[in-house]
Structure 1
Amino acid sequence: MREMAGGCMCGKIRYTATIENEEAYLCHCRMCQRACGNVSLALKNLKKAEVSWERRPDYYASSPIANRGYCSTCGTSLTFEFPDSDNMDLTVASFDDPSSFKPTHNFGIESMHPAWLNTEGLKGIRADENPATVSRWMKTVGKLPD
């Protein structure tokens, strides 16, 4: 077990979670797609008691059976929770270092978009190799983001 920190993009919401393993999953259901504005949502399931919040997220009822936590300032999607469960999901991307998580299964496959699953053969472009992006950062902030 190890402690991992995470939070939203603007830093208003922060958490620390006790992680037992690197297992995570991709949810492809339409509710997750709409909630995150993407073709799937990477989630890490854990006990609610294993998450401590410096500041709790805002919540909304995303369906009659579930709630989602998010930051009302920057909009970052942070959690998926059934109110009657001891478990919850944290979004993998909200961890400060999500690189250790590995997907173990797909859920909600009735809405899966297979063309987006294996992107191995696609050309890869680094953000710092795009002159327009670099120019905007340099002009506005004077440096590239971390």
Structure 2
Amino acid sequence: MTRQIHTGGCQCGAVRYQATGEIGFPHVCHCRMCQKAAGNYFMPFGGVTHENFKLTRGEPTWFQSSESVRRGFCGKCGTPLFYDGGSDHISITLGSLDEPESVKPDLQTNLARKMPWFGDLDSLRHDGSFDMSPEDDASVASSSRQHPDHDTAIWPMEKRN
């Protein structure tokens, strides 16, 4: 059996991790605590056992968000990364994966706090005049300080000329 390896990390690259095997319980949490931790309307998570998880660069900063839960994030850029409820696994924010499309949530939790209009998002009109052009993408990429979606030997990269 092939063991799948998932890598990920924060926006600036100071904290990187690796998870081996299937990421279990992929879900979207709508609770108010996750909304605040993400600065968003929900937070997607999936878990791996501690034995299948390792940090590969840096150390997260931890915030004890309740008596039983601590949340790990990058102390340099603020990216939410982990949810540790003290059990045999650690939950990873699915958006911090290098390939977030590789893990599809299969359920939602805490629907009492879900935004009542959330199901209408796909019907919002789209104004393409605000989309980035290929030239805009290239310009942003040439000056980006965001870590790429793959492991690097060192980070931050040397300043570009």
SS in structure 1 of the partner of residue 44 of structure 2: strand
Q: 1:111: which partner in 2?
A: 113
**For 2:134 and 2:41, how far apart are their aligned partners in 1?**
25
Aligned-pair CA distance for 1:19: 3.1
Aligned-pair CA distance for 1:138: 3.4
Paired-residue identity, % = 29
**1:72-87 mapped onto 2 (5 Å cutoff):** 72-83=75-86, 85-87=87-89
Any conservation in 2 of the 1:92–1:98 contact (CA below 8 Å)? Answer: yes
**For 1:140 and 1:104, how far apart are their aligned partners in 2?**
33
Q: 1:17: which partner in 2?
A: 19
Q: 1:128 aligns with which of 132, 138, 141?
A: 132
Q: 1:27: which partner in 2?
A: 29
Any conservation in 2 of the 1:22–1:102 contact (CA below 8 Å)? Answer: no
Q: 1:138: which partner in 2?
A: 139
Aligned-pair CA distance for 1:90: 0.2
Aligned length: 141
Cα distance change of structure 1 residues 139 and 88 upon mapping to structure 2, 3 Å threshold: closer
Cα distance change of structure 1 residues 50 and 109 upon mapping to structure 2, 3 Å threshold: same
Deviation sequence 1:54-108 (CA, Å, 0-9, x none): 223111101111000000000000001112x111210001001101211211111
Q: Name which of structure 1's ranges 116-125 and 96-105 shifts more when overlaid on structure 2.
A: 116-125
Which one has a larger percent strand, Structure 1 or Structure 2?
1
Any conservation in 2 of the 1:22–1:101 contact (CA below 8 Å)? Answer: no
